[in-house]
A = this chain, B = another copy of it.
Amino acid sequence: MLGNEFLFGGDYNPDQWKDYPEILKEDMRLMKLAGCNLMSVGIFSWATLEPEEGVYDFSFLDSVMDRLAENGIGAALATPSAARPAWMSMKYPEVLRVNERFERIRHGQRHNHCYTSPVYRQKTAEINRRLAERYKDHPALKLWHVSNEYNGICYCDKCQEAFREWLKERYDGDLDKLNHAWWSTFWSHNYTDWSQIEPPSPMGENSVHGLVLDWKRFATHQTIDFYLEEVKVLKEITPDVPATANWYWLAQRELNYKEFSKYVDIIAWDEYPLWHSPAGDLAIANEAAFIYNHCRCFKEGQPFLLMESTPSNVSYRTANGLKRPGMAVTTGLQAIAHGADSVQYFQWRKSRGGMEKYHGAVVDHEGSENTRTFREVAELGGHLKELKEIKAARTHSDIAIVYDAESEWALSDCFGFKTHDLQYDETCFAHHLPFYRRGFNIDVISPEDDFSKYRLLILPMLHIMREETAERIAAFTEQGGTVVMTYISAYVNETDLCHLGGFPAGRLKEVFGIRNEEIDSMYDGVSLPIKMADGTVFGAKDYAEVLHLQGAEALAVYDRDYYAGTPCLTKNRYGKGCAYYIGFRDEGDFLDAFYGGLTEELGIAPAAEGLPEGVTAASRVKEGEEYIFLMNFTAEEKKVSTNHPVLLGKRKEDAVLLPPYGTAVLKRRDNK
């Protein structure tokens, strides 16, 4: 994919420097110095390319593309739909998004067009066509970078009408079916005509949860539909150039990326972890790793692109601290370790004005290579060249955590439990951490993915449980798998209707050998002791489900309150496999001990053994070789014992040395 080397570069906005020819020239020198081979260009260039309606001027972009090609650098050429020229907003207000209060916004900012607007679709198709035609044979063109961080929902009449059409199809034109699915009799919300359906809004309906779920599904659908229309013309003209859309998870939770992933050629991700924030670097590394592990699994292990990251600071945090020395290298290699085939930065050069002028960049306002950031970026550029044999390598994992975008939607909109702070993502991260800090490879998959290739399957707060998912969980266990499920899982179906007959839903009661009578929610700061069979005590917080054994055995019980002595951790033999249920939220150490024991019991091995605290590992395999990345997320030097050859890093006797925030790469024959 895209050559034999790791891709390295970033967002490049020469449009901003048209009046500074010496800077445009200097950019080329500096890119080569840093080892760049792919730059994203044109992301916000529409106003430059089409200064008046129908008047196109590609001369500047021509010069940029030519200069890149001359210097042996590829272009991820963007379609410019992420921001429009002002003339378009003025002449065609329909391209402007309508917000959730049903107000049409005015021109400005970015990422805020209507996805349904025929005008916007036609204008986008036209500029895309011209770009594709002009550069189809250009040697710099490597990748289509379609739009930027697709984001948000429009509430205009056209979008509403499209939503109603989408619903008609989804519910077979049967309003009764929709009314039942949304339980709309509640508060007399029954619809008697399709035209009565409006999107959820603080100005109107916001109490029909099935509507909210379907509205988010529609938003995903419509965004993909817009993407496909953007891509259609590109594929006609440049069938061999891959196309992708860079996603920014934090900004756009309305999108179901699993769904979207089916339509892009390559997964591309923008990732901005809050390094050096009070959460602590290991916890932050864990979140980043979780996300990379998820990215890798969208397309069954296919390597993805880290499409944006910062070489130093960002500009929107409470405190925009700098990456410590070493971190630019290690955070880049972390993405590679988990399956990325690129490290791309936002941004190549700091802009002089505007709201991102203080966002980290490879090249500072100062303008030279004489900065710590530039030196570290260039160092990483060098390492990526040295490590190029790893490119396209895959990852093997016995463990899968299931992450479900739709459960996140359902829980974030939920009244009940600890309204509205259910911490779905945090819980998934917490179940990832015990494996991560021990250096296990972990897959983060979606409910629809194949479970059968794993040995250990983890279902944290899998609130939405479709019948077919439950069947596959049962089958997985029956055939010898080990499954772990938690509180608040399997309560509702895909339109947020509670399962009748008790939780967990249906057959899962047999799989886990329990039923869950009720769930207690605790205030922040309340700690509930739970006692293991051997007398060890851990702390629970937030949630305590009152469980009844129906075949399972209790591994731990609550140790206070009216449910003292009742089971909170259970184990059930089911077929050839085993099903664990955790009825409470871990306050701190329980999950670590539990999963530590479980992997030992199951004999699942990490990518590297004997890691010191704060050092993690991940590996990729290719052609019989396993490449092990050891990453030090502490400010101290660390040592890891190993006899494997060291591909990157400093060996010292029987060990490899990891400088503060440093990374080493080992190589061994793959045993799997």
Contact = CB atoms under 8 A, between A and B. Distances in A.
Interface of A: 13, 15-16, 18-19, 44-48, 51-52, 80, 83-87, 90, 102-103, 105-110, 180, 182-193, 195-196, 198, 201, 203-210, 277-278, 312-313, 315-322, 324-325, 350-359, 364-367, 371-373, 414-419, 421, 495-503, 515, 517-524, 542, 546, 561-562
Given A354-B207, A523-B318, A192 B52 contact: yes
B498 A365 contact: yes
Contacts of A277: 523
A449 to B, nearest CB: 27
Given A320-B416, A365-B503, A355 B207 contact: yes
5 contacts: A90-B196, A108-B207, A322-B521, A356-B415, A358-B415
A204 B319 contact: no
B417 A320 contact: yes
Contacts of A317: 419
Contacts of A191: 86
Nearest to A105: B203
Contacts of A109: 187, 204-207
A198 to B, nearest CB: 6
A564 to B, nearest CB: 12
B183 A419 contact: no
A471 to B, nearest CB: 21
A42 to B, nearest CB: 10
Given A196-B87, A357-B416, A416-B357, A189 B501 contact: no
A15 to B, nearest CB: 5
Question: This chain: how many copies in the complex?
Answer: 3
A419 B314 CA distance: 10
Contacts of A187: 44, 83, 109-110, 354
B366 A108 contact: no
Nearest to A351: B186
Given A419-B315, A517-B371, A518-B372, A188 B353 contact: no
A321 B522 contact: yes
Given A110-B188, A353-B495, 18 more contacts: A19-B180, A44-B186, A47-B188, A51-B192, A86-B190, A105-B203, A209-B355, A313-B521, A315-B415, A316-B419, A318-B418, A319-B418, A319-B521, A319-B524, A364-B518, A366-B501, A366-B515, A367-B502
Contact of A325 (B186, B315, B562): B562
A324 B564 CA distance: 12
A52 B206 CA distance: 23
Given A47-B192, A106-B198, A419 B318 contact: yes
A500 B417 contact: no
A192 B87 contact: yes
A189 B86 contact: yes
A518 B367 CA distance: 13
A497 B46 CA distance: 22
Contacts of A371: 517-518
Contact of A353 (B195, B203, B367, B496): B496
Contact of A105 (B204, B501, B503, B524): B204
Nearest to A19: B180
B86 A319 contact: no
Given A90-B195, A319-B523, A352 B500 contact: yes
Given A195-B90, A209-B355, A188 B85 contact: yes
A191 B492 CA distance: 51
Nearest to A51: B192
Contacts of A16: 183, 185-186
Contacts of A184: 353
Contacts of A313: 416, 521
A83 to B, nearest CB: 4
Contact of A366 (B190, B351, B502): B502
A363 B271 CA distance: 46
Contact of A356 (B185, B186, B312): B186
Contacts of A52: 192
B204 A108 contact: yes
A501 B355 CA distance: 20
- The 6 closest A-B CB pairs, nearest first, are A183-B353, A108-B205, A358-B416, A106-B204, A186-B354, A366-B502
A411 B187 CA distance: 34
A131 B415 CA distance: 33
A281 to B, nearest CB: 13
Contacts of A183: 16, 351-354, 357
Contacts of A44: 185-188
- Give the interface centre of A355, A417, A561 by most chain B CB atoms within 10 Å: A355
Contact of A201 (B15, B108, B515): B108
Contacts of A416: 313, 315, 320, 357-359
A321 B321 CA distance: 39
Contacts of A365: 498-503
A47 B189 contact: yes
A324 B562 contact: yes
Contacts of A108: 189, 198, 201, 204-208
A352 B496 CA distance: 8
- Give the interface centre of A19, A191, A500 by most chain B CB atoms within 10 Å: A500
Contacts of A198: 106-108
A18 B183 CA distance: 11
Contact of A357 (B13, B84, B421, B498): B498
Contacts of A103: 203
A320 B419 contact: yes
A16 B324 CA distance: 59
Contacts of A320: 416-419, 521
Contacts of A352: 183, 497-498, 500
B415 A316 contact: yes
Contacts of A318: 418-419, 421, 523-524
Contacts of A106: 102, 198, 201, 203-205
